[in-house]
Structure 1
Amino acid sequence: MSFFFRAASRPARPSPQELVRSIKESLLALDTRTGAKALEDVEKNVSTLRQTLSGDGEVEPNQEQVLQIALEICKEDVLSLFVQNMPSLGWEGRKDLSHCWSILLRQKVDEAYCCVQYIENHVDLLDFLVVCYKNLEVALNCGNMLRECIKYPKLAKYILESSSFELFFQYVELSNFDIASDALNTFKDLLTKHEAAVSEFLCSHYEQFFELYTRLLTSTNYVTRRQSVKFLSEFLLEAPNAQIMKRYIVEVSYLNIMIGLLKVFVANPNKPRDIIQVLVDNHRELLKLLDNLPTSKGEDEQLEEERDLIVKEIEKLVHSSV
């Protein structure tokens, strides 16, 4: 008796077509209706979508249904509605929608990702997601959705070459630490996930990119400076960027900045123990690098003075650690 009761108590799930149609109607209703009921309908439908796509702990998702839902969502332009209505949803609804987004983008039909192809044909959605970093309520959700998109070369390439990309140089310095950190993670993915595309981008946008990046290296925010130096070394040392690195390190204007940053670490009278250890452990490489810097005259005398100061401080640290 109890078995039949449990079986009867579980409501039948709607078909993929019914579910997508219901989601679309409720999202469109947000534009014409106001109040809690309209929002409640959307979030209820999105919750059902999440359970259908990823299972509910008792019933595993039906992969054939998942794929059919992805196709229907693209066919009915619901993917666009997801992005456009993200700011209208509550916390739980945004969380569910972000989760569904990552599953939908992974669905393949004949070796093609149907939702990724949809976004390729509606790239304004990517621009919208980038701009959403300015919205405190949805920034982290949209950041997750962006990083899912960046896994695919064409979508990452579009963002790199769009005017929206420059916004990341602002976002990584936002006063909200969580959002700034999330934006930095997205920024890193853009510059590391697809090496060939990134190398091509840096070659064709060299001056523009490094002019913006220099602002991060000279930021008044210590955390921004430190993270920017670390990240710069990471993506410049990737094999496809070898020519970019060689071009970068011979430019005196950038050399001045890097020497100045090194001076900040070395000349600090209250250096943390881990900083001291790094300087001591790498003193031979640092001193060799500094010794091989090109000599300069006139306007670059300050660079030589700072180099001499750094050398003396590093040698002093090494002697005191013996």
Structure 2
Amino acid sequence: MAFLFKRNPKTPGELVRALNDQLAKLDYKDATHDPSSFRKYQEEAARHLKHVKVSIYGDDEMEIQPDQVQHILHELLSTNTLFLLTVNLAKLDFDSRKDVAKIYSVLLRRNGSGSLKIISNFPPPVVDYLLYSQPNILTCLIRGPENPEIGLTAGQILRDCIKFETINKFVLYSPEFWNYFKYVQNPTFEIACDAMSTLNDVLTAHKKLVAEFLANNYEVFMTNINNLIKSNNYVTKRQSVKLLNDLVSDKANSLFLNKYFSDTKNLKYTMTLLTEKSKNLQLEGFHLLKFFIANPKRTQKVNDTLIKNKSNFLEFFKTFDTASFHDSNLNEERDYIVKEIENLPDKATC
């Protein structure tokens, strides 16, 4: 890749500005109506973008130079080229979109000196830029699944961004966040799976932040997650139940857990999972049920519901084959839960 620089010697500033110029041309009315002109600008943008990527990412022939990386970072932000790259993702070719994702990945891992850093509470300049100078970039990335051409790239970039708690908070409290419960039902399998990966990361990456969010948004969250659990799509249903299990298994979400396990509607949804034909869905339902039963602070309504369905539970466990999952702990959990169910009164409190 080094030959590119020999043919096109440019300072970091000139290189970024050249890329910026080509990105701007992609928006020209004449270009959008003239395929040949559009293709020309697209190819030029791809060429300059490749130069930028190699400058900060390196390759087999060229080692990165920290001073140059810092200069390019400054230029990408000060000239709003990063903004143009993001909002024009759909106008870039496939390889260029991958290059944009790589550029984001590198920049998010570098601090002000241009050296690699471990993510900590000190945000690099690009994080501040995304949050305070160009928050529209994050909004654009959040809406990525709406465009099949850029959905996967936008998802990859967004998941890199939310490794930082401040960006994760921005995403969680953005009105567009709730659209992910629709995106995961996208008819295009790859887009739906990628959206679910993003939803999982947003809700599990930063425990304290998520715990507060779930406690404050319990009703709307449960409405959305339960709609997914009722989906006719097996993959959507299973991934949603697994996410819910991960959340209720985390002690950090204590306020959310108290609300969840006090709600008989959630117990009824759990009981419905036990009737699924899929053994995997039954297993996810079992993991939820064991929390309801083992909860020492069960509400009276939940307790009454468990008692009313005592015989149904015992009938289910007669055919629930834990051995097929090859998990010794699962056998112990099953035996414990069955014993707890057997110890329930035969009649609920009037």
Q: Deviations over 1:69-90 (max 9, x none)?
A: 1111111111110111101011
Mapping 1:50-199, distance limit 5 Å = 50-109=53-112, 112-121=123-132, 122-199=134-211
1:27 counterpart letter in structure 2: L
Partner residue, 2:254: 242
Structure 1 pair 209/96, CA: closer, same or farther in 2 (3 Å)? same
**For the residues of structure 2 that align with 1:193 and 1:159, how far apart are their CA atoms?**
12
Moved over 3 A (4+): 6-13, 284-297, 303-307, 316-321
Q: Deviations over 1:211-239 (max 9, x none)?
A: 11111121121221211111111122223
Q: Does structure 2 conserve the Cα–Cα contact (< 8 Å) formed by 1:290 and 1:311?
A: no
**1:3 alignment partner in structure 2:** none
TM value normalised by structure 1: 0.84
Q: Is the 8 A contact 1:296 1:304 kept in 2?
A: no
Give the structure 2 partner of residue 25 of structure 1.
21
What SS does the corresponding residue of 2:63 show, helix, strand or coil? coil
Q: Deviations over 1:78-111 (max 9, x none)?
A: 1110111101011111111111111122221175
Q: Secondary structure of the equivalent of 1:109?
A: coil
**Inter-CA distance 168–289: structure 2 relative to 1 (3 Å threshold):** same
- Matched to 1:217, the amino acid is I
Task: Tell me if structure 2 keeps the 8 A contact 1:287–1:311.
Answer: no
Does structure 1 conserve the Cα–Cα contact (< 8 Å) formed by 2:5 and 2:51?
Answer: no
Distance 1:233 1:59, change over 3 A: same
Residue matched to 1:48: 51
Q: Residue 16 in 1 paired to residue 12 in 2?
A: yes
1:210 is aligned to: 222
Change (3 A) 1:106 1:29: same
Give the Cα separation in 1 of the matches to 2:98 and 2:145. 16
Q: 1:7/1:210 Cα in 2 relative to 1: closer, same or farther (>3 Å)? A: closer
Given the two structures, how large is their TM-score scaled by the length of structure 2? Answer: 0.78
Q: Among 249, 257, 267, which residue is 1:255 paired with?
A: 267
3-state secondary structure, aligned to 1:108: coil
Distance 1:291 1:152, change over 3 A: closer
Contact 1:290 1:307 in 2 (8 A): no
Structure 1 position 242, deviation (Å): 1.6
Name the amino acid aligned to 1:179.
Answer: I
CA distance in 2, matches of 1:207, 1:175: 27
Q: How far apart are the structure 1 equivalents of 2:193 and 2:262?
A: 31
SS in 2 for 1:58: coil
TM-superposed CA distance for 1:56, in Å, is 2.2
Q: Identity across aligned pairs (percent)?
A: 28
Contact kept in structure 2, 1:47 and 1:96, CA below 8 Å = yes
Counterpart CA distance in 1 for 2:143 and 2:200 is 17
Aligned letter for 1:166?
W
Unmatched tracts of structure 1, length 5 or more? 1-5
User: Which residues of structure 2 form unaligned runs of 5+?
Assistant: 32-36, 114-121, 325-350
Distance 1:10 1:259, change over 3 A: same
Partner of 1:31, secondary structure, is coil
Q: Distance in 2 between matches of 1:23 and 1:162?
A: 31
**Contact 1:249–1:255, Cα closer than 8 Å, also in 2:** yes
Change (3 A) 1:70 1:292: closer
CA shift at 1:14, angstroms? 2.0
Maintained 8 Å contact 2:184/2:193: yes
Q: Which amino acid aligns with 1:48?
A: H
Of residues 311, 314, 328, the one that matches 1:311 is 314
What CA distance in whole angstroms lies between the structure 2 residues aligned with 1:8 and 1:205?
52
